[in-house]
C-alpha cells in the first residue's frame, strides 16, 4: 500500500501526457488546486480548467519524485504547445495529496513569465 500514492501520480501523469481521459478518474470530487494561474475547488472546475491545458501538453520529464505518506512531491518539466504553435517548456514543482487512491489536492509551482508572454495577443 505504501507505493499507492506514487502509482496514482504515475497513472495521472501518464494519462495527462498520453492525452487520455483516465486522469479524470484519479481526482477526488473535492479536489483543490492551488497554482500560479488558478485556485479552484471541485472536480468539475478542475476538469474545466485543465482539460484544454492537458490537450496542449506535448511531452515532459520527471526529474525527481519524493513520497512521504500521502504526499507526492515532484520536480518535472512539461512541454506545452502555445496557441502560436510555439512549444515552451515549463519547469514545475508539484505537491500532490493522495487519499483513497484519488488526488485530493494539488499545488503547482512554476515561473509564469514565458507562459503569460506567449498568451498575449500579437
Write the CATH number for 27: 3.10.450.50
Q: Residue 73: its pLDDT value, please?
A: 98
> Is residue 46 domain-resident?
yes
- With respect to residue 119, please indicate whether it lies within any of the assigned structural domains: no
In a domain, 27, yes or no: yes
For residue 118, is it within any domain?
no
* Cα radius of gyration (the chain): 14
- Judge whether 87 lies within some domain: yes
Contacts of 78 (CB under 8 A, 6+ apart): 57, 59, 60, 89, 90, 92
- State the pLDDT at residue 1: 40
Share of the chain above pLDDT 70, in %: 97
Tens-place pLDDT, residues 20-58? 999 999 999 999 999 998 999 999 999 999 999 999 999
pLDDT at 122: 61
Three-state SS at 20: coil
Q: Is residue 30 part of a domain?
A: yes
Per-residue pLDDT tens digits for 50-79: 999 999 999 999 999 999 999 999 999 999
Give the whole-number percent of the chain exceeding pLDDT 90: 85
Average pLDDT, the chain: 93
Quick one: pLDDT at residue 119? 79
- Assess if residue 26 is contained within a domain: yes
How many structural domains are present in the chain? 1
- Find out whether 11 and 5 touch, Cβ atoms under 8 Å: no
Note down the domain range covering 12.
4-112
Does residue 68 form part of some domain?
yes
Amino acid at each position: 500500500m505504501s507505493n499507492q500514492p506514487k502509482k496514482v501520480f504515475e497513472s495521472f501523469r501518464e494519462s495527462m501526457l498520453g492525452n487520455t481521459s483516465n486522469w479524470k478518474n484519479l481526482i477526488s470530487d473535492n479536489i483543490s488546486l492551488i497554482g500560479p494561474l488558478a485556485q479552484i475547488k471541485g472536480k468539475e472546475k478542475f476538469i474545466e480548467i485543465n482539460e484544454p491545458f492537458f490537450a496542449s501538453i506535448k511531452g515532459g520529464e520527471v526529474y525527481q519524485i519524493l513520497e512521504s505518506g500521502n504526499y507526492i512531491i515532484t520536480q518535472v518539466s512539461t512541454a506545452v504547445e502555445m496557441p502560436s504553435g510555439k512549444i515552451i517548456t515549463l519547469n514545475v514543482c508539484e505537491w500532490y495529496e493522495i487519499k483513497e487512491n484519488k488526488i485530493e489536492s494539488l499545488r503547482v509551482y512554476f515561473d509564469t513569465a514565458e507562459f503569460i508572454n506567449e498568451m498575449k495577443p500579437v
